[in-house]
Every structure is written in structure tokens, then in C-alpha cells.
């Protein structure tokens, strides 16, 4: 639980980026009203699950997250995912175990199409390429000399490769808002409109000043909060695609 609500009501579920735990996101939605409950997803190997060996399969991760969120919120529920978390949020929403009324995602590739070498995904060479983008060697998953944080990141990146493949052809039926950092070196702006293909509901996109971790700046957090607040309204966000702040 990142922030309990003052009274039963709507809920935001935060899906963190690779290598991170939910606690880092405490201040990102801090501007939401106090009646909004904020909970975070925690993968093995960090925070409250630090005693668990890092690494899991995509199917197990999605099923476990859905089971933990199965208890319904008293009001509207929005999933917010950043980078790897965006893919996990989408897959969890599609699985249908937990209530999700809208999705807000930031700084994530919309499947294999946005990857520099989509033909490599699902192979050892593809995993090597994913690891290299984050400064990790090809043997990072087996390298016991790596610090715990780097080993956790490596396992999350392996999960990310599987998630990029899993979202291809997938479509959810809820409103989806996709955000991108204007200077993000990992997620090209050209991929932002492609998130529209992953929902049959209203879609909106927004370019935000900053890089891959813009949500952790004051201005970036304000944008995320604004979009979450819009998605929490019964009418949902405006279904008007836009590439401007």
C-alpha cells in the first residue's frame, strides 16, 4: 500500500519500471485527492519481497498480480504503469482477474514494433540486446558477482522481452492514455501513436518534457497526476489523440 484512502473509493494501481519497487512511486501520484487509494505492484527480489529470488515467468507474474488485486475497489480503478510496468499493467488488465477501468502508461514500447531489432526478440540475441540497452552484459542473469540491484534489473529485463512479445495483437476494452518523454533515449516518440492499436476504447497520447524518467520530476509527476485524475472520472479521459503537452 503506497497510500491508504481516507474513505473507500477509487483506486490507482502502480506498476513500476524494471529494477524498481513501488516505493519509489510514492510521490508521483501525491497530488491525487486523499480519497484515492494508491497501491503498488512488487515483483520478487525487492522491498516487501526482498527475500524472494528475483525472476519469474510472465504468466506467473500476471496471475500473481491479478490474484493480489482481485478484491474489488469501492470505486473506479486505474492502472498506471511505467516502462516495463506499462506492459505488465496492460497484460494484467487484459487477463481480467482484477478490475481495471482505464490505463495510463508512460515511456514504454507498444510491443515488438518499437524495438530496434524486433526480429531478435524471443532469442538469446534479443535478450542480449535488451540487456545491453541498460548497460548489462549478456551473462547478467547468471553472473552471481553482480550487485543484487543489478541482478534484479537483469531478471526484470528478461521479463520485459517476454512482455514485448506478449502484447503483440492484444487489445483491451478500456480507455488508454499513453505518455512519452520528449528526450527519451529508450522509447522513440514515433512509437507513441501505436499504443492506440492496443485498445478498442478511447485513446489519447501526450508528449511530456523530459527523458525516460520524467515522472520523477516535479513537472512530470504533475502531468501523470493530471492524467490519472482524468482517468478516474466516470467519463474518463478525453479521447483526443495529441502529441503536444
Helix, strand and coil in the chain, % to nearest 5: 40, 15, 50
Q: Which residues are catalytic?
A: 83
| Beta-bridge partners for 170 | none
Are 210 and 189 in contact, with CB atoms under 8 Å apart?
no
Cell numbers found for residue 5? 484512502
Under 8 Å between Cβ of 232 and 35? no
- Reported in sequence order, the residue ranges of the chain that DSSP labels E, i.e. its strands, are 11-15, 37-40, 77-82, 102-106, 176-181, 203-208
Count of CB atoms within 10 A of residue 138's CB? 14
Amino acid at each position: 500500500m503506497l497510500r491508504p484512502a481516507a474513505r473507500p473509493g477509487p483506486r490507482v494501481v502502480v506498476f513500476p519500471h524494471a529494477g524498481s519497487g513501488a516505493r519509489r512511486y510514492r510521490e508521483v501520484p501525491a497530488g491525487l485527492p486523499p480519497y484515492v487509494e494508491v497501491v503498488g505492484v512488487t515483483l520478487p527480489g525487492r522491498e516487501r519481497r526482498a527475500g524472494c529470488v528475483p525472476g519469474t515467468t510472465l504468466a506467473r507474474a500476471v496471475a500473481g498480480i491479478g490474484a493480489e488485486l482481485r478484491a474489488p475497489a469501492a470505486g473506479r480503478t486505474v492502472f498506471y504503469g511505467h516502462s516495463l510496468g506499462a506492459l505488465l499493467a496492460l497484460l494484467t488488465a487484459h487477463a481480467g482477474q482484477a478490475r481495471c477501468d482505464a490505463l495510463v502508461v508512460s515511456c514504454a514500447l507498444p510491443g515488438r514494433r518499437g524495438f530496434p531489432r524486433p526480429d531478435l526478440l524471443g532469442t538469446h540475441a534479443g535478450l542480449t540486446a535488451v540487456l545491453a540497452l541498460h548497460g548489462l552484459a549478456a551473462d547478467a542473469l547468471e553472473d552471481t558477482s553482480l550487485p543484487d540491484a543489478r541482478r534484479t534489473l537483469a531478471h526484470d529485463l528478461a521479463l520485459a522481452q517476454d512482455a514485448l512479445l506478449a502484447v503483440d495483437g492484444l487489445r483491451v476494452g478500456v480507455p488508454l492514455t499513453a505518455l512519452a518523454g520528449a528526450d527519451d533515449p529508450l522509447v522513440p516518440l514515433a512509437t507513441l501513436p501505436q499504443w492506440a492499436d492496443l485498445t478498442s476504447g478511447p485513446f489519447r497520447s501526450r508528449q511530456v518534457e523530459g527523458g525516460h524518467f520524467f515522472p520523477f520530476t516535479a513537472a512530470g509527476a504533475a502531468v501523470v497526476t493530471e492524467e490519472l485524475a482524468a482517468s478516474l472520472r466516470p467519463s474518463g479521459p478525453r479521447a483526443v489523440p495529441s502529441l503536444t503537452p
